[in-house]
Structure formats: structure tokens, C-alpha cells
Amino acid sequence: MKPTAPVLAAIFIATARLVHGAAEAASQAAIAPDQLAFFEKNIRPVLVQQCYKCHSAEASKVKGGLTLDTKHGLRLGGESGQPGVTPGKLAESSIWEAILWEDDDKKMPPKQKLPAEVIANFKKWIEMGAPDPRETKVAAAGGGKRVIDMDQGRKHWAFQKPVKKAPPEVKTEGWARTDIDRFILAGMEANGLHPVKDADRPTLIRRIAFDLTGLPPTPDDVKAFVADQSPDAVKRVIDMYLDSDRYGEKWARHWLDVARYAESSGKEVNVLYPEAWRYRDYVIESFEKDKPYDLFLKEQIAGDLLQFDDKRDQAQKIVATGFLAIGAKGHNNRDKRQFIMDMVDEQIDAMSQSMLGLTLACARCHDHKFDPVAQRDYYALAGIFLSSDTLFGTYKGVQNNNTSTLIDLGREAAQPAALAKISSAEFAALKRKYEEADKAAREAESEVRSMRTKERDKAGVSAFLRIRGTLDRAETVRADLDQFYEDGTPRALAMGVLDRDRPIDSPILVRGDIKQPAEVVPRGLVEVLCAKGEPLNISRGSGRLDLAYWIASKDNPLTARVMANRVWLKLMGSGIVPTPDNFGFMGQKPTHPELLDHLAVTFMENGWSVKKLIRSIMMSRAYQSGSAHDAANYAVDPDNKFHWRMNQRRLDAEAIRDAMLAVSGALNLYPVDGSPVARAGEGREGLTALYREVSSKPLTCRSIFLPIVRDQIPEFLSVFDFPDASLVNGDRDTTNVSSQSLFLMNNSQAQGAADAFAARIAKMEGAPLDKLKAAYMLAFSRNPTDAELTAIRNFWNKFPDQAAQSGTPKDKVQYAALSAFCQSLMASAEFRYLN
């Protein structure tokens, strides 16, 4: 069932109490002496003794942003947005509510309820107009109510539009090749650093191949590149890989990291999302075709509302909005309002971190603690997503209380299918099966309903479980049935977002609590990112289209910068802004602000072409530098902040796996149809079926096509730091832990790859040592050094004997040694590091 309008309405109807400011202070006239005496005798001592410890400017930590040591603070109230005391109005005095101890969440003082006579005194005092002589202004204690100065906020470097400046003059002649180099070299010169030697040709092609395709270069490619001395050899190689289909499969994965892509709900109950793969394929195609990045973003936020060329184009644009639907969700939540607000929060969080490099979701419960983002900004955005219908699918079940339909893309959309066609007879059988299951469920229900109370109590939990069981069974069959049209053709269903018929604005929820709606704010954009006086509000519909155009705009100071920084980080090993998902006040400052602006503005000038951005970085001498150590440079800049050398980088989990399969000749480059998740089926049984499919035969497809079920990431990926698929992640961890070693040495997949590699080598022509050298070239894209040759010889002379001694049959000894050799190459540091 879709979340219906009444559910949403419940969030909004309710006592939307408006926030009153201190302006409403009572008359300034002198307080009557008897009233003053009453305050001094009955109220002030209680406040001092019972409240000041946590609610005064002197408190070590002001709780709830509420200070009670001045009249101003008391009347203004705390973060809840409700006045502490409204003269004459008990109902509008939050401290009255608190001292009554009626609401479990709001009991003050927390340890013990005040005596009845003290409470009575407060009542009397508030009713007499809360006379209060304490006129001193509130000191700005840690948690006092924060008023955001947006003008001041706009001065933050990242909130100002990027401006392209001329590259700086440099002293060192002949090193800089591109504008990027001039920015980098100037930074080095200013810090007394010097560039190191360029990378040699084999190192460079390996770097370029992995960076663009996630795969090692073939020995032929290495040979051709080393031989090609023409000036544009590097450019040719870059273009060759940029044009390869493998490029999209590599770069899409970078975006999937920040889009927290996964094929299940994660969280408490891990419900499968069988149609999530469509979004993955959309991202691959977008990178492959070099879709302008601004359009790429617009489609993900509001693809359903954009103009389209034909049915296929429309379908693709709808699939793009899957970005908003694939986030982690708590399907078992019984409170639909809570479920929806959590989903909206997740959408705001993913969108703002991935596209804007901002943590807007921090403003859900209070104004952002660090950035100039008000809670009002958050709920203005929340209104946009509340006015949109997020369609994520799934079926009702014992732990799934939140389901929706999916979007039928239609036959004419010519979309791929994960399932094979079935015959119309099979469809009819499936339909009958569903009707029977449905009937059984209804019967179980009516049987229990017709019981008398006494009988029902007696039947108790078992009756409930029986109904539940039959219902679940019916839903599981319905899930299968929904996959097909009557003629047995699989339906193309997609996760995504559509506009609701009637947009709605969201109230601010005090402390993010759905039970505490306050002022309703119109749907809108983030104030600090808009020029002063610019309209923030929405022109039509949910506002997603406005939002999409506003984000994917040359006027947005963050969008191009954030992406340029992401691309730089992936190619150079560290971001110009080291915190790629946070450009706010708590993010780190850019090491090269002018270079970042140069990249961002050029990116936009080049029609938001990601390929052009990549090419420009790769063509720089900075990218083509060697990674050698240099003692003098190291002493000044050990972290290589100024890029005096290329960072040594560990390969991503996907690249390690793909490279192992590639060198062993086992990699299947044919793209996968859909996903094993799509074929697994619904519910718990689906998870089990998936596990069976994946563990029964190791998949040999590229890693991007492996099933990504939250919290059940394939071991091959998780062991090499695959990120948490529930979180936006622009910069993966790279750890060196023993479980990786254990995996590479002992896991059957690693051993299988070694065997395949060995079999490939064994078939080659030539003397044993030539074969070993060929394996070396496949694994490392270079020939072994003399010292390494000695090591290889030693191993080759010793290991077969050792294997024979420990009982390996004579005819298997050579093969065992070859397999051990190949595995050693894959388990060595060089295999998983780029120089």
C-alpha cells in the first residue's frame, strides 16, 4: 500500500503552535511590590536551586538550549521553539508542562517532581503575568538559541561562486605542461618543494588503465605504449581507455559510492530491492556516454518531470530518480509518519552530501550546529520530498509494514529485463496459485474474526501467526505474479519518485519529533546558498524540478566544485578539499582553492563533461609524476599535500577482484542481465535463494555487477574496504589487515583465480622461466628486476621439491608450484597498489 494522504496529513494537521519571540515580553512597567516579593520568595529560589545547574549561562552545558536565569531566556524558551513562560497562559508555558511531570519525555526537574505547593506557586505566578525582575541579557552560552546570520554565512569560501583566475607565474621552467601544472608547481615553489621524476612508461600506462577502466593494461598495450615515442602517445592511450566500455563500469562505481547504492533496505529488516539494478545500469550508461553532469543530476532528482525524447528516454529518466528511492529504510517501522520522515531525511542527507557536499540533514532536529543552515531550510526541503511519492516497492510481511508500488515503465520503453519470459500458461498457473493463497489468507482471517472473544484469547498468538503466515505466503506469490504481463512477458518495473497530486508544506518538527509539529514552512531552497533577496520558494508541483535546476546550475557555488574535487580525488589520491562530502564549515579547506575553482569553472565551460575533466587532469604533468620518495620534499610535506609526487594508491576492492579475474583469463566482460537480487524473489526466502545462488558458483562478472545487499557485501569486496552501502562515501578507507592476507591465501575464490592464472600460463610457449616472466608482465605490467628474477628462480627451484616432499603427486608438482607462484603475485603488495 502506498503511504496515503491521511498519513501525511496527520503530520501537518495538529497543533501547529507558532513560535513566539521575546518581543512579547510583558509590560515594562515596574513590578508591583507584592508580585516582586512573591517572585523572590517562591520562584527565584526554586529556579536557582532546581534549574540553574543545567539552564543558566553559568551551566557547564546548557541543556536543550534553554536558559532560565534571565527573564529573556525564560520567556524565549529553548531549542523546542516553545516559550518557556507566556505570561498569563499556562498552556503556552513549556516549563509548566515540564514541572507537571505528565509527559514522559518532558519531566523537570528530571530527578524528582517538585512538591505540590511549589507547583501551585508557579501556576499562580504565571497566571499573575510572570513578573520577573531579572532583566540582564542572555549570555551566549553554548546551547542558547541560535540566530543564524545568513550574510555572514554566505562569506564561507565554498558558498561563493567559483571564479576562474589566470594560472600563477612559476619560476621553474619547462616542467609545467598544462594550467593545472602551473597551479601545482606554484604551490610547490611557495613551499620550497620540487617535482620528482616523471613516472616511467609501464608505470604510467598501468596507472591510466586502472584509473579509467579498473583493469590492468594488457601486455600488448604496455608494449605498444612503451614503443610509442610520439608526443601524443599519452593522449592516445587516455582516449583509448576513455572510449572503452570498461570506463563506464569503473566510473559508475565511484558515483554509486556517493549514491549509497544497494539492492536492499538494510537497517533492522533487510528487505530486498529487486529493481535497484536499473539505477546502477543507468549510472554506467551515463558515464559511458559522458552525459553532461548537470543533466545527470537533474535526472536523478527530477527525471520524471523533465522533457523526454521518446518512451525509452522517459523510462531512463524515471529510473534515474531511483537515486532517491534506494536509500536504507526501516521497513518494520509501525509508525508510517515516522517511516516517511526518516525516508525524507535519508533523501535530504544523500542528496546534499553527494551533490552539494553539505550535511543538511544535521538541521533535522535543530539549526545546523556548524553551518548556516536553519531548521527552517531543512523543512523547506522536506516539503519538497513529502510532496513527492517515493516508490520503492516490496511486499507486506511479518516485519515489513511499509511498502509501495513500483513504476511500470511500459512495454514500449524497451527496457532490459532481469527475468526470462514465461509462457501464458505458466502465468495462468501463477495467477491461480495467487488466488488460492489469497483465498486461504482471507479464510484464516475471517475464521479468527468470527471467533468469540473468549475463543480468540484461547487461540491467542497461534491464531495470529496463522493469519500472518497465510498473508505472507499470498504476498510472496503476488510478488512473483507482479513481475509479468498476462502473456508472460516480464514487466519493466522501476524504483523511483513521482510527484503527488497535491503538494504540501512541512511544519518544522521540534527536535525532529513527529509529535511536535510547529510552524509550517513553505517548500523551498537553502537560503545561504541563494543570493540575498533571491526568491527561495517553489514555482510549481512538488518543487523537485526547481530543486534539480537549482542544484545543477552554474550559479550554485558548490555543485561543480564538489564534482571536480571528487574526480581529482579519485585520480590524484587525495582531494583538493580533503573532505569530499563536506564543504561546510566543518569540512577541511582546499589546499589549492584557485586550482579547484579553475577545474570547476572549466568543467562547466566544457558542458559539464566528466570525460573532459578527467582528460585534463590526466594530461597534467602532476598526474604523470613518479611516486618516488624524496627526502627533502618529505621533510617539508610528508602528506604530499602539494603533489610533489604521485600518491601511491591501493586499488579498490572491485579493481583487485577484477584484476585477479582478468590476469587469470576468467573475467567475463559480458554485462550481467539485471541482478541475482532480481531473480531471488521476495522476503526471507529471497535472501536465502540469493545466498544459495551466489555461494554455489562464484560469479566471474565485473565486480560492479555483483549483488550489493546491505550488510551482506560479498566477502571479496568487504575484505578490501568496500564502504558501508548505507552511507554517502566519497573517499574509501584503505586498510591493510590480516583478513585480506588470509583471504588472498586461503579463500577458495583466490585459490581458484590462482589456478586459472596458472592454467593460462601453463599453456604458453617457452621455457619455464619465460612463462614466469610472462605471468609477471600480466600481473604487474612490467618485467622483473634482476633481484626479483633471483627470487623467482629460488622459489621455482625450491617449491616443487617441497611440494613433492609434503606428498603432492609427482605429476601435480609443477602445476602446484605454478599455482603457488601465480597466487603469490596476486597476494603481493604490488598487485594491489598503483605507483
Partner 1 sequence: MRSISRREALQTTANGFGWLAFCALARGRTLAVGSPLAVKPAHFPPRARRVIFLCMAGGPSHVDLFDHKPRLHADTGREAPPGTMGNGTGRFVLNGSPWKFARHGDGGMWMSELLPGIARHADDICLINSMQTDQPAHPQAVLQLHTGVTQFVRPSMGAWLQYGIGTENENLPGFISIAPSAQNGGARNYSSAFLPAICQGTVISGDTDAGMADIRNARRTRDEQRAQLDFIQRLNASRLRKDVVNPEIEGVIESAELAFKMQREAPLVMDLARESEATRRLYGIGEKVTDSFGRQCLLARKLVETGVRFVQLTHGDWDHHRQLAAGLTKNCASMDRPVAGLLADLKGRGLLEDTLVIWGGEFGRTPHSQGNDGRDHNGRGFTMWMAGGGVKGGLTYGRTDDYGYAAVESPMHIHDWHATVLYLLGIDHERLVFHHAGRDFRLTDGHGSVAKSVLA
Binding to partner 1 (CB under 8 A): which residues in 210-269?
266-269
- Classified as helix, coil or strand, 389 is strand
Q: Binding to partner 1 by residue 833, rule CB under 8 A?
A: yes
**Cβ 638 to partner 1 shortest distance, Å:** 6
Q: Binding to partner 1 by residue 453, rule CB under 8 A?
A: no
CA atoms within 13 A on the CB side of 44: 13
The number of beta carbons lying within 10 Å of the beta carbon of residue 666 is 17
- The residue type of 707 is P
- The residue type of 41 is K
Number of residues that bind partner 1 (CB under 8 A): 81
- Classified as helix, coil or strand, 403 is coil
Supply φ then ψ for residue 29, to 5 degrees. -55, 150
**Cβ 238 to partner 1 shortest distance, Å:** 26
Question: Which of 171, 806, 809, 811: binder of partner 1 (CB under 8 A)?
Answer: 806
**DSSP states of 601-635:** HHHHHTTT-HHHHHHHHHTSTTTTB-----HHHHH
Q: Binding to partner 1 by residue 353, rule CB under 8 A?
A: yes
Question: Which of 537, 739, 783, 797: binder of partner 1 (CB under 8 A)?
Answer: 739
Supply φ then ψ for residue 185, to 5 degrees. -65, -40
Strands 649-650 and 388-391: unpaired
The stretch near partner 1 (CB under 8 A) out of 72-80, 128-136, 570-578, 735-743 is 735-743
Q: Lay out the site mask for partner 1 across 643-682 (x = CB under 8 A, - = otherwise).
A: -----x-x--------------------------------
**Cβ 476 to partner 1 shortest distance, Å:** 18
309-315 own/partner pairs: CB under 8 Å, 24+ apart:
311/410, 311/412, 311/413, 311/414, 312/413, 312/414, 312/415, 314/413, 315/409, 315/410, 315/413, 315/414, 315/415, 315/492, 315/494
Cell of 135: 532583566
**Cβ 722 to partner 1 shortest distance, Å:** 9
**DSSP states of 270-322:** --B-TTTHHHHHHHHHHHHTT--HHHHHHHHHHGGGS--SSHHHHHHHHHHTH
> Which of 599/656 has CB closer to partner 1?
656
- The residue type of 741 is S
Name the DSSP class of 689.
H
Question: Which of 150, 715, 773, 814: binder of partner 1 (CB under 8 A)?
Answer: 715
> Which of 693/788 has CB closer to partner 1?
788
The stretch near partner 1 (CB under 8 A) out of 125-133, 251-259, 486-494, 726-734 is 726-734
Nearest of 106, 128, 103 to residue 32 by alpha carbon: 128
Within 425-444, which residues bind partner 1 (CB under 8 A)?
A: none
Within 579-618, which residues bind partner 1 (CB under 8 A)?
A: 581-582, 584, 586-587
| Residue with the three cell numbers 501537518 | 12
Strands 649-650 and 517-521: unpaired
Question: Which of 747, 752, 773, 815: binder of partner 1 (CB under 8 A)?
Answer: 747
> Which of 546/731 has CB closer to partner 1?
731
> Which of 20/773 has CB closer to partner 1?
773
> Which of 110/115 has CB closer to partner 1?
110
- 538 sits in the region (left: phi over 0; alpha: psi -120 to 50; else beta) called beta
As beta bridge partners, residue 625 has: 198
Nearest of 678, 714, 380, 391 to residue 547 by alpha carbon: 380
> Which of 131/143 has CB closer to partner 1?
143
Question: Which of 35, 574, 606, 802: binder of partner 1 (CB under 8 A)?
Answer: 802
Q: Binding to partner 1 by residue 155, rule CB under 8 A?
A: no
Q: Binding to partner 1 by residue 460, rule CB under 8 A?
A: yes
Q: Lay out the site mask for partner 1 across 360-389 (x = CB under 8 A, - = otherwise).
A: --x------xxx------------------
Q: Binding to partner 1 by residue 745, rule CB under 8 A?
A: yes
Q: Binding to partner 1 by residue 458, rule CB under 8 A?
A: yes
**Cβ 289 to partner 1 shortest distance, Å:** 32
> Which of 229/462 has CB closer to partner 1?
462
> Which of 33/460 has CB closer to partner 1?
460
> Which of 42/648 has CB closer to partner 1?
648
**Cβ 830 to partner 1 shortest distance, Å:** 6
> Which of 668/783 has CB closer to partner 1?
783
Q: Binding to partner 1 by residue 787, rule CB under 8 A?
A: yes
Q: Binding to partner 1 by residue 461, rule CB under 8 A?
A: yes
To which H or E segment does residue 519 belong?
A: strand 517-521
**Helix extents (H) in 646-705:** 653-663, 676-680, 683-696
Q: Binding to partner 1 by residue 829, rule CB under 8 A?
A: yes
Q: Binding to partner 1 by residue 830, rule CB under 8 A?
A: yes
- Classified as helix, coil or strand, 391 is strand
